[in-house]
A and B are shown apart, each in its own frame.
Chain A
């Protein structure tokens, strides 16, 4: 679940071709080679997006379209009513074209809700559109040149951003400023006021968002109780667990966090009795909450400064298996609610390394095995429930967080990579293959998912913002059709 430094390939270079229509030539146009980012697995429908560009009064005065091309994006902009000349143009972090606070002056400015420049490489630096994402904001696009008639048009391709993955811009904003961009000065190249803003929205793809009520919710776990028609989601920051009515979207506090052993809530599951199980993260606990939210049991793992109880899986044998991301052990809770260490991983092929290790865990429906993903290495492991034999199923699932097993299909939420990966497994759960990778309509550090009939629901945790930066509110769960 938790953070990763979100770094891009060191060799990644911006790839820009600008074809300017009705304007002066773009200075500094160039082709930087060496894009090494692997082409992602296909999404369920082609990745295309549109942003309706509004002025500060809310009137639509232009459009931008985005189309995935390999690891990059082809962008077409067409906007009217601007002052002739050059205008800074950037992808900003948040999908909000609302007034918001400009940190430099601590005042509310037009389109301030869009936040600062999208900065997936954590460069904290404004630069030119050819700069590597480590050197400059990923959202630093070429200036838009506006002709004498007030119309600006541009088409270009950039590999600084994508419609999927860590550099994904879906549900972020395209902002056009009043002034030219000097491609240098922080934070926005002295490009002045924000004059146009559009939210980059995926074409032909629908999701339903369930907004959460708090400014610091950081939802990590999600579990569905179909009988009650609710999804539970828990805050990694406070341990508070909400119940979200799946039809109305109404949110109520199911269990306030912060009590003993309940300072954080990570993985959540609902059992056959309607009880909610919560992994307690650094508090080292597993909590079992009654359907009215009161804790039936708060089970302690051995005391340790490195406790990281991350996810849990009820199995057909009636036990619940629990991962710890920093201690190499799988815990087991038996039906009488007793917790013990079930498998010491030090004698197995699973090697714990710095960072977050075993995370999401599921039991196979035939009761033969557990499947668990190791976040830092991207390996998926099969752990036999009878023999405790451990074998590697597949690799390549880096930043794998929550898992959902649906028949032979395994959905893997990959938090910092901001996609949900669909894997098809073989009959004895010993091998798998990636078949699709979905960013939905933009994911913000998604953590876990659950099924609602033919739909899935994912928690957009934004846990990368727990240690700095400003989360985008509302925090939300997002429901979508299985792909």
Chain B
């Protein structure tokens, strides 16, 4: 050990003059070794239960808030987009379609006559966003565009951009128009925790307004479905899902500041550039050490309980909730399946401080998962989240097809 210390000291001495800038890691003739590590991983999928009204009492909301069910029987209800007139677009990934919901009679319910399928035959249709009277939807390998009719109907989908990577394990694609007029779309990794074959996997892509060209905006993002620009700071934040099967607490769920040309570390590094001990070092390009690789990546700005599985993220821009909520973010954590004590199964709030920096993540709506004797059970896998026109918060359960609405009633 003494010798090694001496040699490394010498390395620093000799290289200092040779390289004005930080020297890149030195590729090795052979991959570096790492000590063995053992882990205990737990598969724990809480028993799924169909939503029934009697279970509502299990859900916990902060004081002053009320939870209502706006619709049931929606199928694989995933992402939401609310129009200024109160129309709600809903994507259903398993069904590959988009529905239009509108509470025309203003009774707080989406009745059978107030819902209709407006687009279909889009494989793994998921993320959706609207710009200049057109609806954009992303599925496995394709982004479609549709014209929006006055009655909320959509034209037959046209291909806007194509040739995206295979979905593999992470088929929840997402997209949003950025403040720069470019379309941002995230494409998760096909696998759990290894370098991907297609360099457009595990990335956020930035696509030209006409859909014809695109670039890799950021990489090393395993599955960042929820992302968006903070309404005041304009900073792009994204919620990334960490690898599975690395134990109860590794890696945590991340909130990242996503910047052009940066690498966010997956699969080798998590959180604040921590080295994931359960990923093979031999797969690192250039046969450099994990520590060298991670030093060249970007760390997260906030972490949350491992495996909670962030899906949608939205900033609260309404006025119904108390002022402290304004411009905070809500994230739907769909819930874990490989953690001893389940995580997620909740809507969480990302609290931003006075300087508009994310300060902490705290539970907002909980109670979907519970222990019944020795058995964990759950009756909701939350996915989409959006602010409704009246300033209430909408979210979906993709398991039973429920649309929930959270209202602030504390002032009355």
Whether B261 lies near A256 (C-beta < 8 A) is: yes
Determine how close the nearest CB of chain A comes to the CB of B222; give it in whole angstroms.
16
Residue of B nearest to A238 (CB): B199
Docked-complex contact A259 and B214, CB < 8 angstroms: yes
| Contacts A216-B285, A256-B261 given; does A100 touch B214 at CB 8 Å | no
Closest to B15 in A: A98
> Which B residues touch A115, using CB under 8 A?
29
Binds A, one of B205-213, B224-232, B385-393: B205-213
Taking CB atoms, residues of chain A closer than 8 Å to B214 are 259-260, 295
What residues of B have a CB within 8 angstroms of the CB of A58 in the complex?
10, 13-14
Chain A, residue nearest B13 (CB): A58
Closest B-chain residue to A95, C-beta based?
Answer: B18
B26: CB under 8 A from chain A?
A: yes
Query: Looking at the complex, which one of B13, B24, B27, B213 makes contact with A211 (CB distance below 8 Å)?
Result: B24
Interface status of B33 (Cβ within 8 A of chain A): yes
Closest A residue, CB atoms, query B26:
A473
Contact B216 A211 (CB under 8 A): no
Query: Across the interface, which residues of B come within 8 angstroms of A239, CB to CB?
Result: 199
Q: Is A24 an interface residue (CB 8 A)?
A: no
B178 at the interface (CB under 8 A from A): no
Query: Do B11 and A98 touch (CB < 8 A)?
Result: yes
Which residues of A sit under 8 angstroms from B215, Cβ to Cβ? 255-256, 259, 262, 293-295
Known: A103-B29, A215-B25, A259-B205. A253 touches B261 (CB 8 A): yes
Interface residues of A in 207-228 (CB under 8 A from B): 211-217
A-side contacts of B203, CB under 8 Å: 258
Does A470 have its Cβ within 8 Å of any Cβ on chain B?
yes
CB neighbours (8 Å) of B235 from chain A are: none
Residue B8 lies at the interface, judged by CB distance under 8 Å to chain A = yes
Q: How far is the CB of A124 from chain B (nearest CB, A)?
A: 13
Q: Which residue of A lies closest to B161 (CB)?
A: A260
Contact with A214, one of B14, B24, B219 (Cβ below 8 angstroms): B24
Within 8 A of B (CB), among A100-138: 100-101, 103, 106, 108-110, 113, 115-116
Which residues of A sit under 8 angstroms from B20, Cβ to Cβ?
211, 249
- In the bound assembly, the distance between CA atoms of A13 and B11 in angstroms comes to 37
| B23 and A211 form a contact (CB under 8 A) | yes
Residues 458-483 of chain A: 1 if any B CB is under 8 Å from the residue's CB, otherwise 0? 00000000000011011100000000
* A31 at the B interface (CB under 8 A): no
Residues of B within 8 A of A471 (CB): 27
A82-110 vs B, CB cutoff 8 Å, 1 = contact: the mask equals 00000000000000011111010010111
**How many positions in chain B have a CB within 8 Å of any CB in the partner chain?**
45
A115 to B26, CA, bound (A): 11
A427 an interface residue at 8 Å Cβ cutoff?
no
Query: In the complex, what distance in Å separates the CA atom of A475 from the CA atom of B19?
Result: 12
Q: How many A-B residue pairs have CB under 8 A?
A: 126
Q: How far is the CB of A296 from chain B (nearest CB, A)?
A: 7
A390 interfacial contact with B, CB 8 Å: no
Residue ID in chain B nearest A288 by CB atoms? B213
B287 within 8 A of A: yes
Q: How far, in angstroms, from A31 to B214 measured CA to CA in the complex? A: 62
Contact between A257 and B29, CB atoms less than 8 A apart: no
Q: Is the CB of B14 within 8 A of A474?
A: no
Contact A296 B213 (CB under 8 A): yes
CB–CB B199/A212 < 8 A: no
Contact of A56 among B10, B22, B33 (CB under 8 A): B10
Q: In the complex, which residues of chain B have a beta carbon less than 8 angstroms from the beta carbon of A238?
A: 199
Q: How far does the Cβ of A252 sit from chain B's closest Cβ, in whole Å?
A: 8
Residues of A within 8 A of B218 (CB): 256
Question: Which residues of chain A (337-360) have a CB below 8 Å from chain B?
Answer: none
Report yes or no: A263 in contact with B199, Cβ–Cβ below 8 A: yes
Q: Residue A389 at the B interface, CB < 8 A? A: no
A39 at the interface (CB under 8 A from B): no
A57 contacts chain B at the CB level, 8 A cutoff:
yes
Indicate if the CB atoms of A98 and B14 lie closer than 8 Å.
Answer: yes
Contacts of A252 in B (CB 8 A): 261
A292 to B, closest residue via Cβ? B260
Asked if A315 lies at the interface with its beta carbon under 8 angstroms from chain B, I say: no
Contact B24 A474 (CB under 8 A): yes
Within the complex, the shortest CB–CB distance from B41 to chain A, in Å, comes to 29
Q: In the complex the two chains form, what is the Cα distance from A39 to B295 in whole Å?
A: 47
Interface pair A212/B213, CB less than 8 Å apart: no
Interface assignment of B30: CB less than 8 Å from any CB of chain A: yes
B32: A residues at CB distance < 8 A: 101, 106
Q: Which chain B residues in 174-228 approach chain A with CB under 8 Å?
A: 199-200, 203, 205-206, 208, 212-219
Q: Does B7 contact A (CB under 8 A)?
A: yes
Q: How many chain-A residues does the 8 Å CB contact rule pick out?
A: 49
- Smallest Cβ-Cβ distance to A293: which chain B residue: B215
B411 interfacial contact with A, CB 8 Å: no
- B212–chain A nearest beta-carbon distance, Å: 8
Q: Which residues from chain A contact B8 at a C-beta distance below 8 Å?
A: 99, 108
| Chain A contacts for B213, CB-based, 8 A | 294-298
- Nearest opposing residue in chain A for B292, CB measure: A215
Q: How long is the Cα–Cα vector from A293 to B4 in the complex, in angstroms?
A: 43
- Near A by CB (< 8 A), chain B positions 265-318 give 285-288, 292, 296
Contacting residues, chain B, for A473 (C-beta < 8 A)? 23-27
Alpha-carbon distance between A253 and B288 when the two chains are bound, in angstroms? 21
- The reply to whether the CB of B2 lies closer than 8 angstroms to some CB of chain A is no
Chain A residues lying within 8 Å of B36, measured Cβ to Cβ, are none
Contacts of A97 in B (CB 8 A): 14
User: Shortest beta-carbon distance, B161 to chain A, in Å?
Assistant: 9
Give the one of B4, B26, B33, B214 with max A CB within 10 A.
B26
Q: How far is the CA of A251 from the CA of B288 in the complex (A)?
A: 21
The answer to whether B24 and A215 touch across the interface, beta carbons within 8 angstroms, is yes
CB distance from B25 to the nearest CB of A (A): 5
Interface assignment of B52: CB less than 8 Å from any CB of chain A: no
Q: Is A250 an interface residue (CB 8 A)?
A: yes
Option from A106, A215, A293 in Cβ contact (under 8 Å) with B26? A215
Also in contact, A249 and B21, with CB within 8 A (given A259-B215, A297-B213): yes
Point out the residues of chain A lying under 8 angstroms from B4, CB to CB: 108
- Point out the residues of chain A lying under 8 angstroms from B35, CB to CB: none
- Give min CB distance, B83 to chain A, whole Å: 30
User: Is B163 among interface residues, defined by CB-CB distance under 8 A?
Assistant: yes
* Cβ of B44 to closest chain A Cβ, rounded Å: 36
Is B106 an interface residue, CB under 8 A from the partner? Answer: no
Report whether A470 and B27 are in contact in the complex, using a CB–CB cutoff of 8 Å.
Answer: yes
* B24 adjacent to A212 (CB under 8 Å): yes
Contacts of A260 in B (CB 8 A): 163, 200, 214
B28 within 8 A of A: yes
C-alpha gap A116/B28 in the complex (Å): 12
Contact with B along A256-271 (1 / 0, CB 8 A): 1111101100000000
Minimum CB distance partner of B215 in chain A: A259
Using Cβ atoms and an 8 Å threshold, which residues of chain B touch A213?
21-22, 24, 296
The answer to whether A294 and B24 have CB atoms under 8 Å apart is no
Cα of A106 to Cα of B29 in the assembled complex, Å: 9
Identify A215's interface contact among B13, B200, B212, B288, CB under 8 A: B288
* Most-contacted residue by chain A among B15, B29, B33 (CB, 10 A): B29
Q: Which residues of B contact A474 (CB under 8 A)?
A: 19, 23-24
Q: Which residues of A contact B200 (CB under 8 A)?
A: 258-260
Complex Cα distance, B161 from A260, in Å, reads 11
12 other A-B residue contacts (CB within 8 Å) besides A101-B29, A256-B217, A297-B212: A103-B29, A108-B7, A211-B19, A213-B296, A214-B24, A216-B286, A249-B20, A258-B203, A294-B206, A295-B215, A473-B25, A475-B24
List the 6 closest pairs (A to B, CB-CB), nearest first.
Answer: A258-B199, A215-B286, A253-B261, A103-B29, A99-B7, A295-B213
Ordered by A's residue number, 13 sampled pairs between the chains whose C-beta atoms are within 8 Å are A56-B10, A57-B10, A98-B10, A103-B28, A108-B4, A216-B286, A249-B20, A251-B21, A252-B261, A253-B261, A260-B163, A296-B213, A471-B27
B interface with A by C-beta (< 8 Å): 4, 7-8, 10-11, 13-15, 19-30, 32-33, 163, 199-200, 203, 205-206, 208, 212-219, 260-261, 285-288, 292, 296
